[in-house]
């Protein structure tokens, strides 16, 4: 009996964690996609980072994150 209750509680916790991650992902895409379309994908993925001049190049940050991940 206790095992069934623990199983249900853990399932509820896991589902709430998945729902939280899904909502965070949705929010990030909802807020980010218009900026990417406005700036252009090429400008967004460039190496130039100058937010005051609408230069949102994130390629160096992505490559840096990948290198840190590989090195870990």
Question: Are 32 and 45 in the same domain?
Answer: no
Give me the pLDDT at residue 14, please: 98
Give me the pLDDT at residue 68, please: 96
Mean pLDDT, residues 27-31: 94
Burial class (CB in 10 A: 0-12, 13-18, 19+), 39: middle
Q: What is the pLDDT of residues 41-63, one digit of tens each?
A: 777 788 877 777 766 778 888 88
Question: Are 3 and 30 in the same domain?
Answer: yes
Q: Is the pLDDT of residue 5 over 80?
A: yes
Number of separate domains in the chain: 2
Nearest to 39 by CA among 28, 49, 27, 30: 49
Q: Is the pLDDT of residue 16 over 70?
A: yes
Question: Are 7 and 31 in the same domain?
Answer: yes
- Contact, 39 vs 56, CB < 8 A? yes
pTM: 0.60
Residue 45, φ and ψ in degrees, nearest 5: -95, 10
């Amino acid at each position: 009996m206790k095992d069934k209750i623990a199983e249900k509680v853990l399932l509820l916790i896991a589902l709430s964690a998945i729902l939280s991650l899904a909502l965070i992902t949705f929010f990030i895409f909802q807020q980010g996609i218009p900026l990417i379309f406005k700036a252009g994908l090429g400008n967004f993925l460039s190496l130039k980072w100058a937010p005051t001049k609408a230069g949102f190049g994130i390629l160096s940050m992505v490559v840096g994150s990948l290198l840190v991940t590989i090195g870990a």
